[in-house]
Structure 1
Amino acid sequence: MTAPSKQRIHDLLQQLGLSPDASLHDVKQAYRQRVKSLHPDKNPGQDTTAAFQQLQHTYQTLVQYYQYGAQPPPVQPPSHHTKEEITTPVSFANQAPKPPPPIPNPVIKQAIVCRHCRKDRQGLRYRCWQKVTGLIIITRHKLVSGIWCQHCSLRLALKINIWNLLLGWWSITGPWHTIRSWWTNTLGGKTPLAENSKLEYRLALQHIAKSRFNEAIGHLYWLKHYCQNQAMQDKVNQLLHQLGDPSEAVAQPPESTHFFKSQFILLSLMILLISLPILIWQQAFEPLALVSKPPISANPIAPEAQHQALYRSHRLGSHYTLDAVALLSAPDIKSAIITRIGQYAPVNVVSKGPQGWVTLSTTKGLQGFVAEQLIGFGNHTIAKRYQCQQYPGPRPFNGELLGQHNGKKRLSIENPHTNDAIVLFRQQNKTVQLVYIYAQQQIHVQRLPNRIDNIIIRHGQFYNHACRTFTANLEERKEPLTIISNQQKLQL
């Protein structure tokens, strides 16, 4: 084989897009870029086999030139040659360059498909699932093995884990085996290396037969990294050489981390399945619970002589208790106690009794007498939310400032609503002043604080001074506000 001339080397370098002074490193880098674009798998609609083979020949010629210079590579003569034959120069002029090996085209007798869906999907693996059944003393284990894809494996793992959750606990060692099998099944089951090595090689041949070279290269590199069998490694290297020694960067991974992402979903489902029957059982058998709730401590309280009842026209109806109270059988503190009612409990005031007593009924249908000053006005949920545990005071007058901070700002406020309103003036998240406004009234407020940036508007009934809110028909909204001039108006 004669050494190529310098003009020939320059032409080959121009084919790779390189200058005449390019180094061997530049040649290898240009070859890697070209081989990705001319690989037959990257051009399914075009026939690039001839261009790919020409690129291989160009690369081999340039590598030999850079390694041996202008001299041809040394040739080891056979041992049976004579001395004259050895010293006679050999001519390589009439020998054609050796082409790269052809791309293999294996024949697949039986296609490898998923055991459940019967399709050739991504992530085919030979998996073993652990199924646990607890029988008081004995714990039975069953291995469900076969070839499944990722999609069917996820569904099968969920089914087997639900089976283990429902039937795996009922033995002495059942909880331990159930937790261990859940973790194994969630991560994709057991994948024996020997069976999966054979499966990966068969899948690589199957993808090559279907011209899916990237997936085939992914399976081959998986075998190259994880398989320890030397005979299998030789087969893998031979196939990779026939495919043109492709880079691992073009390989498509044979399996993703789908199971690792789904284990949190399976864990949530299992916790839900465990907790749901317990919650249902507690709800159904709460009256039969062995441990009862702590009793409510409330002594009978007589009506106060100085107490002044408010909202007399709204006293009857649904209200709430301001504190824990004792329901008496008669309007007398010495009478028998029917039951005790907790704080913020909903009650229904039936009628007004004599000398500051009221008759009320509980949610369980019990009826008795309680002092009127122990019953609030409005909704028990609102009262519990804002901690309205005191009897409401007199209704504030129209335009009354209920806060402590004053300033020099002025504001005109109109309340067209059918219920009274309070406006909470705030600086960031701190309330600095409150003003009370009657329904369908307009007021002019003075001495408001400076630097107000937002307000909270509340409409309702039964204003409670202790919690600064209404305890019935409460409507609340928040709005931004900046007082710029003294003639500014605000409509609620």
Structure 2
Amino acid sequence: MADAAEIKAAFRYQAKLLHPDRNVSDEATQQFQRVAEAYRVLRNARTRRSYDATTIISAPGNLIDPTDQSPEPLACSRCGKVTAQPRYLIFRIIRGTLLSTRKDAVLGIFCRDCADRTAIRASTATWLCGWWSPTGPYHTVRALFANLKGGEKPRADNLWVILHQARAFLARGEADIARALAEQAEAFAGGPEERAAIAAIVRAAGGKARSSPRLKNRWRPWSYAPVVQALPLAALVVGLGVAVAAVVFRTETDSASAAIIVRPAQAGEIRHVAVDLLKVRQGPNASQPVVALVDRFATVQVMDSVAEGEWARILTANGVTGYVPARFLFGGPGNASKNRWCADQKGEPPANGEVLLRRTGGEHRLTVKNTSGHDAVVRLKTPTGRTLMAFYIDAGANVSLPAIPDGTFRAVFASGRDYSRACGIFLENMQTFIVPTAQVIQATMQAGRQQLALTLPPVGDGPGESRTLPLESFLDN
């Protein structure tokens, strides 16, 4: 986590880039206001804790595509194993700090074994730490009862999780499991459209078959976990003090935990990041220095599991090794999840001449003519490969762009179909190219305000034609 000095330095840098007196783009004022508001929240310890407490992983109902023709089975977010009966659960942890109450949550897609283990750990922490603030007892009792019932189970998210898993097993040819999962999903169905989706899976699985073996429901209400969680409550009811109850609870938890099959992240597993920006640290502790930042959906390899499975040592695609909380790693590579997210967040198609990205402004003007034969997203890059601005231009069109800064730039462009604003890529048939060296753009105020020109030539191997470019070089910012 960044300290106050790092936050202040980052704010000053962004404020300098986005201040309306310096940045003439249309979005500069709005972006500057957002940066100022973020700094107002983050510079104060109390408002920063409140912000962190509201930051959670996106619910699976927002990420699952019900029209996916070849869905991959969902894996447990704790152990990484594919489970026939996944559930999306939220467990609450309450910590009292004399004058304030901190409310945390552990959430994700769980198998039954990992759900029971997580419920015990969450309730243990709440029993020991939740009472010590004015509002702590109220929030502690609510959290304990929610965890005792197996955690919170959002109806819509669990419906789509179970239906996704049913489709995945149906695609594998395991119709009996798919049919049984569809029947379990009926408990979460709320309206006729959702019941119709369930019925469609049952029909695709061959209809209801009385003779086929039923899938044993792994989520029946009672197991050892609620019993272990309720032991302190039972101790309190019979009149034992808080101290005695805590000792009894810890003793019983230790003995019960010996029978739990713990499946932490295993060395060699491939997983992907499930949060927007994951901090990789030198050691398995939140106070350790940050050695790298990894984007959402980035694929990593698990090297080891430490701290009873709470932390995982990972290897990133850039060769960086460090530690991250294991709960932020979902099973499997992130390509499929990223593609689905890019499609869901793609936004409106760009218009001819629309500026999609601008990092700074200037006094020059650039006229662009597109003779490549393709609608294109063009990026102007510095000699170090950093993207300065990006804009969209139709095939055969001419556009004029103001506010070009001083510097030396090369133009690269991409063509394809179905552009995603969120990811900056075409979702289908994306190809990337570089404009010949002869068209390097050089702008300097020593020559006054310049009228610059750029032509996107046709793609080919001939003189003056655009050449293919690796996708990584186009995206490298």
* Fold match by TM threshold 0.5: no
Length-normalised TM-score, structure 2: 0.33
Structure of higher CA gyration radius: 1
Length-normalised TM-score, structure 1: 0.32
> Relative contact order: is structure 1 or structure 2 higher (C-alpha 8 Å, sep ≥ 6)?
2
